[in-house]
Chain A
Amino acid sequence: MNTKIIPLALAAATTLLAASLPAHADAEHRAKALEIIKRDFQPRGQAGVDRLTEDGLQTVCNRTSNKPPEYLAKQMEADQLATVKLPADGKLMGDWKEGEKIAQSGQGFTWTDKPGLPVGGNCYNCHQISPKELAFGTVGPSLYQFGKLRGNTPEIQKYTYSKIWNAKSFNLCSEMPRFGHVGALNEQQIKHLVALLLDPESPVNKQ
């Protein structure tokens, strides 16, 4: 039973170190998993082993099974939002037709992809968007009529741009990647995606 006591003590120590962050439900096996992950991967193509290291946000989401305490989530979401770089020219909507192409592509960042940019937005992998595309995923909510339901006021444009740039600004442990934050999508690409979602002429909102 010694093996039971040691991890408990470890978990307690870790909790103290991380101040008020709650201990992981199974700290013993999480520690073991981390050790194994660190040891059992090798770099391939553009995917280096540095990708295995959690950043602060990932640590918090992993440690809390994606349910961080509210005070922490609010603080960290604000921190994430503060990193969103809005376009200098103040224009947030590009060309929805270009946005559709970006939304269709799921390429980029795997060890078989050519390194470098631009990469695809992966949007249809998880979301319904234009009604013309029937091969859409359901990991995320439907975005059909996104602009029709919300309008395209400057506030909505800013929200939409920021959400794509860093989805974690509004929901700390969202399943959605932080496309602008990690440098996957650039300013121009995100503008086109904003137009796909908000332009009244976009098939998302037209019907």
Chain B
Amino acid sequence: MRTIIAFGAALMLAVSSPLTFAQAKQGKPAKAQKKAAPAAQVVEETDEATKDFEKFRAQMEDSNPAELFEMKGEELWQQKRGPKNVSLAESCDLGQGVGVVKGAYVAMPRYFADADAVMDAERRIVWCMVEKQGFKFEDIAKKPFQGANDTSAPDITNLVTYVAANSKDMKFAVPLDQPRVRDAWETGKEITMYRAGPYDFSCNTCHGSDGKRIRMQNLPNISTGKGAIKGVQGWPGYRMTGGVMLTHQWRMNDCFRQQRFPEPKYASEVVTDLLTYMIGNANGQVYRGPGIKR
């Protein structure tokens, strides 16, 4: 029943949003080519439930609700904000030069010398908000993800969605040749193998071999290129269940919940290392932009 309601809500959005997009895009010719390719990933799955969902998702591709969040993110990127009253556009380097968002998402995690750390996209933007704009990390970390009852997504989610959208149709290129990034990848691999907790689960219990399912849900094997891209594609994503926009950081958080682990601290190294491993394994494959999730 919940699924049906969520589908309905998403459909309403799908019907009403093209107009909104058309209006919002006036005077922004740079974004005109955005609709050139499908917005969400079409994966090759076998079971019927997945096929049905993929059909539905394909119908929605032309008006992906993620774009609403992306537009909010663009505004936030441009605005002078925070105690220091500077914009991210004029201060934040995502690895491609200050203010450059094009191609930044698919080339993270990467090593940032100014922070002396490997950072994934979300962690890097948080770092910029704290270091450049003067926001308090504690304030951002207090509620970093959109909850089921929240009417809007946190600023950081909108910003990540904006940055991610600017890597649409580009290939993942995590610089695994950088020693610090390679180190994070190796550590991430070890984290996926770590069994603990009441059920002895590790990441690999579900995501370490091919062709497995939990109930009807296919489980990507993130140690392979084919599996890793499935774990990476579509994030950040608009989730129909609950109608919320969620980031890849959130996905990692929820995996640990299901693993019966305690909660990973927000934007911490454990999540960056995992993302380095997973996205690094998806290197060379095309990112289709912010997506739609079940």
Q: Interface on A for B, CB 8 Å cutoff?
A: 26, 29-30, 32-34, 36-37, 39-44, 47-49, 51-54, 57-58, 61-62, 65, 109-112, 124-126, 135-139, 168, 175, 177-178, 182, 184
**A47 CB contacts on chain B under 8 angstroms:** 197, 257, 260-263
Q: Is there a chain A Cβ closer than 8 Å to B21's Cβ?
A: no
Closest partner residue, chain A, to B191 (CB atom)? A33
With A52-B196, A126-B214, A137-B213 already in contact, the answer to whether A41 and B273 are too (CB < 8 A) is: no
Complex alpha-carbon distance, A126 and B186, angstroms? 29
**Residue from B189, B194, B205, B212 in contact with A37 in the complex, judged by beta carbons closer than 8 Å:** B194
**A109 CB contacts on chain B under 8 angstroms:** 198-199, 260
**A26 CB contacts on chain B under 8 angstroms:** 186, 189-190
Check A51 against B214 for contact (C-beta < 8 Å).
Answer: no
Give 27 CB contacts A-B under 8 Å: A26-B190, A29-B189, A29-B190, A30-B190, A32-B190, A34-B194, A37-B270, A40-B268, A41-B256, A41-B262, A41-B263, A41-B264, A42-B262, A44-B262, A51-B198, A51-B262, A52-B262, A57-B200, A111-B257, A125-B214, A135-B215, A135-B216, A136-B213, A136-B215, A139-B205, A139-B212, A139-B219
Complex alpha-carbon distance, A191 and B244, angstroms? 41
**Residue from A43, A168, A177 in contact with B198 in the complex, judged by beta carbons closer than 8 Å:** A177
Q: Interface on B for A, CB 8 Å cutoff?
A: 183, 186-187, 189-191, 193-202, 205-206, 211-217, 219, 256-258, 260-265, 268-271, 273
**A135 CB contacts on chain B under 8 angstroms:** 215-216
Check A110 against B216 for contact (C-beta < 8 Å).
Answer: no
Complex alpha-carbon distance, A53 and B268, angstroms? 19
Closest partner residue, chain B, to A65 (CB atom)? B193
**Residue from B196, B264, B273 in contact with A58 in the complex, judged by beta carbons closer than 8 Å:** B196
Besides A47-B261, A58-B196, A62-B194, 18 new A-B residue pairs in contact (Cβ under 8 A), listed by A number: A26-B190, A29-B186, A30-B190, A37-B270, A39-B270, A40-B271, A41-B270, A42-B265, A44-B263, A51-B197, A51-B261, A62-B193, A109-B260, A111-B257, A125-B215, A135-B215, A139-B212, A184-B199
